[in-house]
Structure 1
Amino acid sequence: MRDLTPQIAVKLAEAAYEIKDKVGGVYESDALDLLSRDFDFNLSNNVVQGTSGSLMEHIFKHKTGFAVIGTGKKSGDYNGHTVIALRGTANKRDVVTDMHCGLSTSANNLPAHAGFNKTFNSIKPALEGYFTKNSSGPVHCVGHSLGGALAHLTANWLHSKQNGRPISLYTFGAPRVGYAGFADKTSNSLHRVFRCTHSADPIPLVPFWPFVHTEGEYTLNAAPNINAQAHRMAGNSPGYINTASSFKSFAAVNKRSEHWHKEQVRLDYEKRHQASFTSKWAHRLGAALITLLKDTGLLYEVQHMITGSLTFYDKVALLLTKIAHMPGNFAEQQKGMLGHMLVFAGKPGIVITDLSYKFIRWVLSVTLDKVAQVAGSAISLLK
């Protein structure tokens, strides 16, 4: 199966934003025009409408263009292939900035982010209509930002419905969609996964722990400091269109193969000032939490936690309060993790003197909110 090039994939991701609204009664896209050598896009019939994750849009059933489907031309390199490009919602209030998200069952029968699932379910009927009639040949699912999350869910859904059909996933600056089991099942079931990031992009860091990414990360730009500008598609700061288009193939992109969430991290409270507001420390703090839960035998409980009246992190804080009273060195291990979180969140002067539920919940909140604030700014820049 021939892979898309980084340039084609990022152009498709760009085009998904351009078909949000009709102009003069028709959909238009300059990005799709540039891809016309390889693909046919019937904008009269193959634009999929959906409803965004915001509550008001669902209440009023406000539908806009969410995805565009193309077919490979017989004369091109992708004869017999199908491409589907999906966009995210350019709204700061969107679910990606809600760190206290719920879960719902996804197409691969594992829990995933409820907000992403809700939006995906609004476009699924149209996808079913198309792919029931077009059930052969490789499929490439593409998206930037929240569109990457929807592409992820679309690829999983297609695999569950049309098992054996080669399906590849291409995302740019996409958030995390599910827990470790969900990510691993995606990595093992799809033909190829090209998860592209800028190291400074805050959106791939959310939702926070224990949501994780699929295996493998194609790093298009390695600047370490978290910066809302790094999430943008256009421009040179660094701009996904700019960075992706500089590579002729994904084989030329630096690929990080390790699983961050499988790293064993135990942190010393006295060394907490080594932490910084970087993607490296966001990953390390997530790994530290998972390590602590694994060491105390509580990881299984978290991985199978479905939220109800309490938010997810209310329940995590309850478990951490329980750990604080366990025999052994777990309280010190937890103190080290929380101390590093405070420095990461820009509160280095706070000294930990107790491990009460109220304090632990507050530390989790300020840490999550620090990332959420930058993630919200990144989403706003998409407008």
Structure 2
Amino acid sequence: MTPTAAAPSSPADADAEADAAALPRLAARARDVGASPVREILALTARPEVISFAGGLPAPELFDAAGLRAAFDRVLAERPRTVLQYATTEGDPQLRQVVAARLSARGLATGPDDLVVTGGSQQGLTLLATALLEPGDVVLVENPTYLAALQCFGFTGARVVPVPTDADGVLPDALEELVLRERPKLLYLIPEFQNPTGRTMPAARRRAVASVAGRHGLWIAEDDPYGELRFEGERGPWISSYEAAGDRTALLGSFSKVMAPGMRLGWLRAPEALRRPCVIAKQAADLHTSAVDQAAAARYLADHDLDVHLDRVRTAYRARRDALLAGLPAALPAGSTWNRPEGGMFVWVRLPDGYDATRRLRAAIAHDVAYVPGAPFYAAAPDPATLRMSFTTHTPEEIAEGLRRLAPAFG
């Protein structure tokens, strides 16, 4: 028999089918928070011929791949049933012990139970935001600041308010004025080799910030992913170490810049009142950070002197920073200014008035060189003439060549 053709649907049926097929809208936070321009620039500059000053990446040739492989081999050989199994949310006890000892040796008394191991310091920041922030809460930040922190706070629905800054970081008087006016719940800072500016907050400024927090009752998130990368000058005390801020500061650290970012290991040190909610938030997010990566990191730190490895890294980065600074006068338009960081990964540049770093980026990429425009790092009132340059992932010779390519983009 010949199959009978189905009767055509009526317009009403078609409308009903269309209505039934429609999906619910995404959450407002997913619609309103944009992608990272830095990550998108990295995708555009992935061609091997491009010399990129854009990414905040550690130099891959400086990874201690042999040492890390030995650490993985050893923990997998000695206790595979443990390191391949589920683990506690707080993290590997041996790794927390090593981190606690390093912090204590530098004057910040810390025990293993004060710490939570995280998926990089980025997850630590997300946990803090989850535990602390509700829609409409105010977060104070440096201006400019770390782009992914702005994304993180945006996902919570918090209102981000920039604090006026100078070459030494946030201005204490301006900070206090904003605290009194805005009643913020959280202040986010990167005191050491700040991203994106590379600047460092002096000890007197840190003490003043701690005093403001102590007097007015707000939390501080002190992000320190770059502090181990100092290659000249003296390291300042953590804000967490000041008595006025000790009970209200969460310190974030990372192994990404000193060991390997692919392991995605960081840590969060916080008072119990904040640490416990962060543990619960982490349980809801991922249960725990990779047990085998944590065990390998702890084994590596037990078998190797991390500071010996870091001396090699810092020596290379110092030479690369110097190469970048030496070549900037010829590469940038007359009237440009830039800073000279004592460590970290970044140099902050300001072009003369009238230049737009975002518009000039296309010309730079056409010459097989790239940087990151500064505008996306601002919480408000972006300066279009600013840009960030990372000096870590290329040799001094490659940096010199990259700067020769960059000069025509500003011609």
Query: Does the TM-score normalized on the shorter chain lie above 0.5?
Result: no
What TM-score, normalized by structure 2, do the two folds share?
Answer: 0.25
Q: Using CA pairs below 8 Å that are at least 6 residues apart, which structure has the higher relative contact order?
A: 2
The structure with the larger Rg is 2
